[in-house]
Amino acid sequence: MKKSESFYEKIAYLFYAVADADGTVHPDEFAHLHSEINNFWRKTDRAKHEFDTDGGIEVEAIFEWLEDEGYSAEDALGDFKLFAEEHPYFLILRLQN
């Protein structure tokens, strides 16, 4: 997995942790994520990833997988924090772009 792909994977963990903070991912939370990806990410992320997808599709797919698996918000946030600690330069670079 490329660094950019791992970034999209872990940012999905962060979004999921926020959505599931109350113990439930409400349908409107996923709809809002989908809307933001369409309105922002797809306009700025032109790189194609594995299976000729873009980062937005990866974020949505991983978000849905986390929900289907019953992943806890605490575990998702912990996974994101670990990634951020291991890749601080990469995160700063991605946030600046």
- Burial of residue 25, with CB atoms counted within 10 A of its CB: 0-12 exposed, 13-18 middle, 19 or more buried: buried
- Report the alpha-carbon distance of residue 24 to residue 4 in Å, rounded: 28
User: What predicted TM-score, i.e. pTM, was given to this entire model?
Assistant: 0.80
CB 73 within 8 A of CB 21: yes
pLDDT of residue 28: 94
pLDDT of residue 95: 54
Strand ranges inside the chain, DSSP E: none
Section 9-29 average pLDDT:
94
Section 7-33 average pLDDT:
93
For the cut 50, the answer to whether the pLDDT of residue 62 exceeds it is yes
